[in-house]
Amino acid sequence: MARILLIGLAGDSGCQVAAVGLHETLVEVLAANELIYAPTLIDAKEIPDKIDVAIVEGGIRNTHEEEIIKEIREKSGVVIALGACAAFGGIPGLANLKPGPELMNTIYNNWRGTDKGTIPTHLVSLDEQHPIKDFVKVDFIIPGCPPEVTDIAYTLTTLLSGEIPKYNSTQVCDDCPKERLGVYEPELKRIHEEIPDPDRCLLEQGFFCMGPATMGGCGAPCPTSGNTCEGCRGACLDVTDQGMAMIDAMTGLLNQLKDEFSVETYVGQLYRFTYAESILSEIARRRNK
């Protein structure tokens, strides 16, 4: 019987809700194992000792969260990063585009509804948003925003059976049924600007779809339904930088664009979920030192 911890950092709980969506599988897991800490499900005051599997949601932005993840790592046999924020920094990682002190000043001194000049001191903010791997060893990740229930079930049941989960080695485009012709529109468009051809590759039509640079295994629900892939599952296996991989995948499109392509303009799309761990972020960090 394994002792399981389920926790959300930074006030997150959406990925934990996805874990509850395991339904029958969750019942089977809980029947054969012990859930010893899960603030969203059971009353819990302190992180216990002797944790076999720790499932952690949310990134790290302050010293309190840093202390918690270090305590969990010390007490756990296996640590799983659940969701994009824990695994890559997630959407909050885009805050790293501004230096920490400048961001805090903007939020607390330049927004309506705040007590101007008063910056909270009960938590010591870090200069950047971090994935948990920046502070502790992470054994496995379950990507997504939120993660696919099938991924959560596979990782948990595989681990608890004594085997090692394997990461998906495909890209979202491999799951997508849309036809690719190798011909690109000469401009980038937003999905709300016109109705795309439902049968043809969205990227070839000029819609910014992150499918070529994003880990597959989700079944491509977003492009299949007519929406672009936003890249929430992070980079494909063996790719170190999702945004750079996407630029490489867009070679055909970039050659035909009427307007000059700017990384600065599209950074929020290239790195919507992975900016905190990106090469671009590291370059900015060194420049600001």
pLDDT single digits (tens) 95-133: 998 887 788 777 777 777 666 666 666 667 888 999 999
pLDDT digits (tens, 9 = 90+) for 153-166: 999 999 999 999 99
Please, is 154 exposed, middle or buried when counting C-beta atoms within 10 Å of its C-beta (0-12, 13-18, 19+)? middle
Q: Is 280 helix (H, G, I), strand (E, B) or coil?
A: helix
What is the model's pTM?
A: 0.90
The DSSP H or E segment spanning 78 is: strand 76-82
| Residue 115, pLDDT score | 65
Residue 128 C-alpha from the chain's centroid: 16
229 pLDDT more than 70: yes
Q: Which domains does the chain have, with CATH numbers?
A: 3-160 (3.40.50.700), 172-288 (no CATH)
In this predicted structure, the answer to whether residue 137 has a pLDDT above a threshold of 90 is: yes
* Of 61-65, 184-188, 190-194, 282-286, highest mean pLDDT: 61-65
Nearby residues of 39 by Cβ (< 8 Å), 6 or more positions away: 7, 8
Share of the chain above pLDDT 70, in %: 92
| 55/19 Cα distance (integer angstroms) | 10
The predicted structure's pLDDT at residue 116: 64
pLDDT for 260 beyond 70 = no
What ranges in 184-278 are assigned the alpha helix state H? 221-224, 242-249, 251-254, 263-270
Whether the bond between 221 and the residue before it is cis, its omega within 30 degrees of 0, is: no
Is the pLDDT at 72 greater than 90? The verdict is: yes
